[in-house]
Structure 1
Amino acid sequence: MTANTADGKEIYNTERHYHTQATDCRTNKMLYGAQVKTQYIRDTALQPYETKAETFEIFLPEGVRTVDVTVSLRYEINKPDNFIEIAKVSRTVSLDR
């Protein structure tokens, strides 16, 4: 998710990852692979037809009242550079009523 001012300056950028998280019984380090005996400790994966609500707090610089927010949902295949974009939404958000 990114937020830009009206002149295009990026003021906020963050990523969230949704997947199962596995570890072994000896450490709390995340592990994957057939060679490691693991157990799932947490599952943040997105399930089919499940609604997930997220909250982002963006602290705006002095004098900025309007930002352009872009949110992208991507499926990453093996590497972060190799992905399929599932959805992308852009909105202009204003503090003025």
Structure 2
Amino acid sequence: MSHEEILVPTNSTSGSWNMKWRLKCPACGIDEVERADETGDHEAVTVQPDRDDYDSPLGTRGGYVRVDLTCSDGHGFAFIMGNHKGAEFVGVVHRA
């Protein structure tokens, strides 16, 4: 399967420069994505402090936020937001 855009722009109703995207599953492209429920919604989001290591799932240095997700077809992946010294990264990784 070819990879489609997984962050799809949606219209903002605020009238300002705010931007928002809808996240699709990177494996199949479906837009029905929810927090992984194996451990409960409250444990699907984790925050890792900046310890100056390259331990982010994206391979970047610094702290990150990880949101474990599952699409309605059962594909597991994580949405990652990372930061290190003024550089911001956003990505998705396969979740086993």
| TM-score, normalised by the number of residues in structure 2 | 0.30
Structure scoring higher RCO (CA < 8 A, sep ≥ 6) equals 1
Give the greater-gyration-radius structure (CA): 1
| TM-score, normalised by the number of residues in structure 1 | 0.30
